[in-house]
Chains A and B, each alone.
Chain A
């Protein structure tokens, strides 16, 4: 039987990272659960493969010309990080502040946006919203560079309220327009040239150019505005100050956190009409939001240490997003222990499963939960998981097989084999029905420890990769 503490650690690593092997869990479990949460929140990651090494072999990972290599470079940070929580946080914010290549035609600015999420994503929410409002990718994505004094484009003002902070039903159309007025003058430098290059998808003469924020005082509407009941000559920062004070904002962010880290909630458009799964948890997180001065890290510290996160009821219940599935599998198999030629092709797998990083279907981002699963994407997910877990040439799989063989020396039975294997793969929890299926297979092919050949274990690992529980975190 597995140690409960190790199983809890496994749950934490699936949610706050991309999963962990048994060897990693044993190492982590030398600390208490609370110590591990604090360490994860407070430490900076190291990468087994440096960005220099990655850029040497894959120069486009640092200076992307198209729409995929920035996603590939991010995926490999997820794999090579000793503390993937920072990448998970960036993924969390990317899901909410979804910004896409389709309109930007510039991977560098998207790459820079993800870097910003990694850097500021655990800080103060006010600061994050301000930097988001200055982010060149967001400015182009939601047309704020086309919003001018006397001729506003309300796209950013609308999504700031609807998708990034408060949610529908908590503001008026007038508030949207007033917010848009306050953000006039918030644009990008060299706007004409940068938008011309984006619109023409131009890589000429010398590749893509990164962009930076510029404030144009002369284009800012400095007249009086009335926003959410407050009156003043508001600029963008003032609008964000007012937004951050709202109860609706605290609940909106709390619900996103709960949905991403604890259990799948309905898609965001349904939130005005459906109560949260756990209203008490949302209330408690909202309280931390205000008590900590909008501190995201403190909200997450509270979340990870709370009973509603630790309870077994939520273990292995969330559907993994394609990026989580691919990154988690590659961390287990360790097939890319150094930069390799076909890592770009492997990154494309997430697109086949419905999630092209930095290229969301709309400003609303992706719908998570069971919406990841349809007849097409399930086939892609199962094929990927099975073929990678079943490849005994991968060093991570070799280690798992060696550990299984080493631990079946004294006593052996198909039941013991299945327990060992599920532990090695990161304490995967399976239903009784699934377990019986796995045991049936083991009884037919691996009924004696002499039969623990690479070929037989590969077949069993493929079966584990195909089971529904492997698709959940």
Chain B
């Protein structure tokens, strides 16, 4: 299919860092009403300093970090998703502790809710989070294969979907997004598809099929939808950003165009030997071993997406959390002439 629609890389933000400016395996981000960006770092088991929230803005101004690894108030073990309410409260899901934590924008713990289980208000691995325009919080309860809905205080309201692979069912879902026409889109990771629901939980449609071709999806982690209904998918398993029209037809894709962020440039400017060696290096090349193996290709070619975990719109920009490269790639859409 030919299209006059394309993606353009705007810039890259961030730096791999377990302390100070930067992130370690970021999984998600959210923006507050002052357009500050809160980047949720997953960290990893052997260096838990990366489990935290880094605050910055689109100009890569750095405002500090808060939260840490642990099971106490305001701490996380396996943080997965972050969202900010209209009242500027931060909500973070933790798929190990099975709870949602609520914090101020300054990182002060307010409260938490949830525990392991499959009853109403309980979770088995909560991850994707989103608010609708009625301030209802949708939580992807991924190992229970369902979506649970809460008020801002964490009181259970309703639930929908179940574990499975039929229409409307979910298999280890991950991200969720809400659109201005009151629809929910769930990244059905284990079923390799995007599913659309009403906010009441009524199944509307799904698209996507497992595979490595352009029209396929392999384990989607997140999606975003523009005003025209085009759907932007983090094709996590294929390490691509893919765009589909509102009928689910493939429009275009991008393998990643990471460049030096402001923080990365600052690092290299103060580490001159490494900068000079890097300037001489050929960082884009092809190898036979890359054939049919985008994971390996991404491990070699720095500019490519490597396990993108989250995508969201900010004004006209698409912010893609490029998790295994510890950065955010920023794109926008352009019309081809």
Contacts and interface: CB of A to CB of B under 8 A. Distances in A.
A206 B300 contact: no
A209 interface: yes
B307 interface: yes
A329 B277 CA distance: 46
B116 interface: no
A220 to B, nearest CB: 20
B277 A193 contact: yes
Interface residues of B, number: 51
Nearest to B280: A192
B16 to A, nearest CB: 5
Contacts of A204: 15-17, 264, 267, 271, 274
B47 A65 contact: yes
B16 A206 contact: yes
Contacts of A63: 299, 306-307, 324
A189 B16 CA distance: 23
A62 B324 contact: yes
Contacts of B260: 205
Nearest to A344: B45
Interface stretch (B58-66, B226-234, B282-290): B282-290
B302 interface: yes
Contacts, number: 120
B258 interface: yes
Interface in B87-119: 95-96
A367 interface: no
A52 B189 CA distance: 10
Given A57-B78, A62-B299, A66-B44, 16 more contacts: A52-B218, A56-B219, A59-B42, A60-B46, A63-B324, A108-B299, A112-B299, A189-B285, A190-B280, A190-B282, A196-B274, A200-B271, A205-B268, A207-B306, A210-B300, A341-B45
Interface of B: 15-17, 24-25, 42, 44-47, 77-78, 95-96, 174, 189, 218-219, 236-237, 258, 260-261, 263-264, 267-268, 271, 273-274, 277-278, 280-283, 285, 287, 289, 295-296, 299-300, 302, 306-307, 323-327
* Ranked 10 nearest A-B pairs via Cβ: A205-B264, A344-B45, A60-B44, A193-B281, A190-B281, A210-B299, A63-B324, A193-B277, A196-B277, A206-B325
14 contacts: A55-B307, A56-B236, A59-B323, A60-B45, A66-B44, A69-B44, A69-B45, A196-B274, A200-B271, A205-B263, A205-B327, A207-B325, A207-B326, A210-B296
Interface of A: 52, 55-60, 62-63, 65-69, 72, 108, 112, 189-190, 192-194, 196-197, 200, 202-207, 209-212, 341-342, 344-345
